[in-house]
Structures are given as C-alpha cells and as structure tokens.
C-alpha cells in the first residue's frame, strides 16, 4: 500500500476526469504520485479513472466532486484533498470552460462562467493551498492557452480570462517564491471541445503550425510532468506546446 513516505508527493488536478486532465493524472501517477481527481459532473469517468489507477497501485487515487464556481467552498476542496493522504504537493489548475461569446450577445453569466472557471477559481484554489504547498516546497501548474496572447475570434471573454491566468501565474510565482514554483502550460491545437466555429478554426490553426499536425494530450501531460519533476529552477514561466503555431507564417 502506498504511504506518504514512499511516494514523490500528492497531486490535485482539477477537471481531471476526462481529456487532458485525465492524461495529466495518468502521467503524474505513473511518475509515482498519489493523485486526487477533481470533477464537477463527470462522476462515472472520475470513478473509472480512479479504479484503473488503484488497480495499478493500491490506495493511490481518490476523487473529489466540486463546483469551482462555488467560491466560498473552494477552501473545503483543498482541505479535503489534503486529508486524503495528509499532504498536498502539486496543484494543477486544469479545469476550464470554453465556448464562444460573440459581441452583442455576451451576458454577465458568460463572464461569470468563463472568468470564474479560468481565472477566479485558480486564484482562490491557490490561495487555499498556499500554506500547505509552502510547507512542502510544492508547485502549481496553470493551464493557459496560446490565445491568451493571440485572442481567438468569437472567444473574447475566454481569451481575456486566459490572459489573466498568465498574469496570475507570474504574480503568484513572485508571491509564493522561494518555497513554491508556479508555472503554466499553453496548449495549441490539442483536443478542442465541440463548439460553433471551432472545427473550421481548429483546422486553420493546424495548417499554420510549423509541424502541420495536431498535438496530443500526452504532449501536455509530459510537459506538466517535466515542470513538476524536472524543473526545480523554473518558475513564473509559460511553456507553449503548440507545434510552432506562435512562430507565425
């Protein structure tokens, strides 16, 4: 059975039941971490993932349900995560809402959802976890987006929220150093959700990458694992994983 003394640490990944979050959980688990799989509504996927990981290594994965837009309860999410194995070493802010918001149709609810999931929730989770991460000389990884710097047409609120998360990453690196490292990963054309305009824009972006192909979730998961395990002198940085899209053409 896994114990705190026999593992590299404990990682909490938000939005981890599916897609890139699940790949990240698997990568960190394979690296020896015990993992906490946060989900909002994908309970079945979270349970299946935890079951698979616990079959590989007993008592190494747990699930926690929470709505990240419920700000007053975010400290409870972190506290619950710490009680799983008595510590927390890594926080990966992966959960994100993504949908278009065309000018003239943007509602305050759109703002609350997109800024809430992509910027507000990471801030308050970091604040709640800061003391524990400082104690353990841990690290934080925020999932940003290449469109923080190059806004995506039809997605102004999402793009602005991710730009805010880039700034938050750098601010938190200053605030929490030297004990805690804070970095971000900016994916390019990787597993976009289905949404109006998305497919055509996705194909156009792929055509403008230097590598002329879509990246994989494993590319992101490996980058996160690198920042967690092999980058002790990197903080306040955004690692772009986009196949050369931001080189221009």
Domain boundaries of the chain, sorted by first residue: 4-240
| pTM of the predicted model as reported, rounded to 2 decimal places | 0.92
**Arithmetic mean of pLDDT, 34-54:** 98
Instruction: Please determine, for residue 186, whether its predicted confidence score (pLDDT) is greater than 80.
Output: yes
Report the Cα–Cα distance between both ends of the chain, in Å, rounded.
52
Give yes or no for residue 162 having a pLDDT over 60.
yes
User: Lowest-confidence range among 54-68, 144-158, 199-213?
Assistant: 199-213
Say which of 23, 155, 158, 233 is annotated catalytic. 158
Closest by CA position to 119, among listed 158, 88, 176? 158
Q: Could you tell me what percent of the chain has a pLDDT over 90? A: 80
pLDDT attached to residue 212: 61
Reading the block at residue 38, the tokens are 């946060």
User: How does pLDDT run across 77-89, given as a tens digit for each residue?
Assistant: 999 999 999 999 9
Q: What is the mean pLDDT of residues 157-175?
A: 98
Question: How is the beta sheet containing 34-39 ordered, strand by strand?
Answer: 61-65, 34-39, 10-13, 90-93, 139-143, 181-187, 238-241
The residue-averaged pLDDT of 10-22 equals 97
Q: Give residue 119's pLDDT band: very low, low, confident or very high (50, 70, 90).
A: very high
The two tokens of residue 36 are: 């906490």
Looking at residue 133, its pLDDT comes to 98
pLDDT over 80 at 67, yes or no: yes
Position 60 pLDDT exceeds 80? yes
Nearest-10 crossing angle of helices 19-30, 217-229: 40
The DSSP bridge partners found for residue 121 are none
pLDDT band at 35 (very low <50, low <70, confident <90, very high): very high
Give residue 2's pLDDT.
Answer: 40
Tell me if the domain spanning 4-240 has CATH number 3.40.50.720.
Answer: yes
Look at 151 and 166; give whichever has higher pLDDT. Answer: 166
Give yes or no: 23 in active site: no
- Whether residue 198 is predicted with pLDDT greater than 90 in this model: the reply is no
Cross-strand partners of 65? 39
How confident is the prediction for the chain on average, in pLDDT? 91
């Amino acid at each position: 059975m896994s114990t705190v003394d026999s593992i590299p640490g404990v990682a909490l990944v938000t939005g981890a039941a599916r897609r890139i979050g699940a790949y990240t959980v698997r990568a960190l688990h394979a690296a020896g971490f015990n993992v906490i799989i946060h989900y909002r509504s994908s309970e079945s996927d979270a349970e299946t993932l935890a079951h698979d990981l616990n079959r590989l290594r007993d008592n190494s994965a747990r699930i926690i349900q929470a709505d990240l837009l419920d700000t007053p309860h975010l400290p409870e999410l972190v506290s619950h995560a710490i009680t799983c194995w008595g510590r927390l070493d890594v926080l990966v802010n992966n959960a994100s809402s993504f949908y278009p918001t065309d000018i003239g149709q943007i509602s305050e609810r759109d703002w609350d959802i997109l800024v809430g999931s992509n910027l507000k929730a990471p801030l308050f989770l970091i604040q709640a976890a800061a003391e524990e991460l400082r104690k353990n000389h841990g690290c934080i990884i925020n999932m940003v987006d290449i469109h923080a710097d190059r806004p995506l047409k039809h997605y102004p609120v999402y793009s602005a929220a991710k730009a805010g998360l880039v700034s938050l990453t750098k601010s938190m690196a200053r605030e929490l150093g030297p004990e805690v490292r804070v970095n971000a990963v900016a994916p390019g054309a990787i597993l976009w959700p289905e949404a109006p305009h998305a497919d055509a824009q996705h194909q156009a972006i792929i055509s403008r990458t230097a590598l002329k192909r879509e990246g994989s979730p494993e590319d992101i998961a490996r980058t996160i694992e690198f920042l967690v395990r092999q980058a002790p002198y990197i903080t306040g940085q955004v690692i772009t994983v986009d196949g050369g899209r931001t080189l221009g053409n």
